[in-house]
Chains A and B, each alone.
Chain A
Amino acid sequence: MSTIDISVYVPVIILMVLAVLIYGIALFASSLIAPKNPTELKDTPYECGEEPTGTAWSQFNVRFYVVGLIFIIFDVESVLMFPVASVFKKMHELGHGWYVFVVFVSFISVLLEGIAYCWKKGDLDWVKSYVTENKSA
């Protein structure tokens, strides 16, 4: 058996089911009473009143991807810090405060190094990479 009582997660599942149910019921009710007479013009995606040209699913700038990559690294670091942060006070009360502080700060300083590197190299700049790409294109 598991050491934690997972029945405290029942409301989570119920809320998720409720969200799906409410969404489904509302859409169903709407489909019963709402009018449905599509026309060619009505179904056209909005493009400021002009005829839309081509599909919208086009190539996007790489900088969105860079932001995503940097985010994942920081996300994992913050996830690793959560268990340590939540026992910090307990360890301090046991008299290991400065030890944990040193461990914690050395972990964070490596994280800061990462930010400093990306900052220095311009990966955090939105506009600079834009200029570069315009010229290389």
Chain B
Amino acid sequence: MFHKLLFIMSTVLTVASALVVLLNKNIMHACIALLGSLIGIAGLYLTLGADFVAATQLMVYVGGVVILMLFAVMLTGGQDFVSKTQKLFDLTPNMGNATSYSVGIVSAALFGMIIYGLTESSLSSIPKKDIDPNLIEASTLERLGELLLTDHVLAFEISSVLLLGALVGAAIIARPDRSTSSSANTSEEQ
């Protein structure tokens, strides 16, 4: 019963918040609606029995990415009143052009493929007896830890290098304009 209840709550929260993100013109409200959507996805992970992934979703997306987005919004304070109240300009919708239609077709094809894949995989899911019974005994966390240390130890190590790359990249991109800052730095040293 709780399983169903949680699933319904999470789905409604995810879909409704996602719609608000799409339809809202106030960028701050859209950010907060995205927060609701991400929490809903954490609930969906939980219904699938992936408790660690659900908490990770909260920790990384809610605690990190949404705050980063809010900071990013605060970077874009404009000059005139329209952008200061953070409403988008009232754009007139047009009937689309060749680019938008072709992008639409590609997205529709991708979406169809995903739907097809999902229905196929649910029809031919792995039978229960193939799963190692020893693994089911432990909690998801311990299973993850054991797999990260045995079968996927290379992926674990490489992920740290990947994150190092991301960190360096983020630091370089977020630095103020390199030419001006380097000249300012040298003048400061003199």
Whether A and B touch directly in their complex, counting CB atoms under 8 A apart, is answered as yes
Known: A2-B49, A6-B49, A55-B84. A107 touches B166 (CB 8 A): no
User: Which of under 10, 10 to 19, 20 to 34, or 35 or more describes the interface residues of B?
Assistant: 35 or more
Residues of the B chain whose Cβ atoms lie less than 8 Å from the Cβ of A113? 164
Known: A6-B47, A83-B52, A83-B148. A57 touches B84 (CB 8 A): yes
Known: A65-B72, A69-B170. A86 touches B140 (CB 8 A): no
> Is the Cβ of A57 less than 8 Å from the Cβ of B167?
no
> Is the Cβ of A6 less than 8 Å from the Cβ of B2?
yes
* Contact flags B72-92 to A (C-beta < 8 A → 1, else 0): 101111100100111000000
A10 at the interface (CB under 8 A from B): yes
B124 at the interface (CB under 8 A from A): no
In the complex the two chains form, what is the Cα distance from A54 to B81 in whole Å? Answer: 9
In the complex the two chains form, what is the Cα distance from A103 to B158 in whole Å? Answer: 11
> Chain A interface: which of B29-37, B57-65, B93-101, B113-121?
B57-65
Residues of the B chain whose Cβ atoms lie less than 8 Å from the Cβ of A133? 176
In the complex the two chains form, what is the Cα distance from A80 to B159 in whole Å? Answer: 9
> Chain A interface: which of B14-22, B103-111, B182-190?
B182-190
User: Which of under 10, 10 to 19, 20 to 34, or 35 or more describes the interface residues of A?
Assistant: 35 or more
Q: Please give me the residue from chain B that is nearest to A131 by CB atom.
A: B188
Q: Quick one: which of B120-156 are within 8 Å of A by CB?
A: 136, 139-142, 144-146, 148-149, 153, 156
Which A positions have Cβ atoms within 8 angstroms of B? 1-4, 6-7, 9-10, 13, 54-55, 57-60, 62, 64-66, 68-73, 75-77, 79-80, 82-88, 90-91, 96, 100, 103, 106-107, 110-111, 113-114, 117-118, 121, 123, 129, 131-133, 135-136
Which B positions have Cβ atoms within 8 angstroms of A? 2-3, 6, 9, 46-49, 51-52, 56, 59-60, 63-65, 67-68, 71-72, 74-78, 81, 84-86, 136, 139-142, 144-146, 148-149, 153, 156-157, 159-161, 163-164, 166-168, 170-171, 174-177, 180-181, 184-185, 187-188
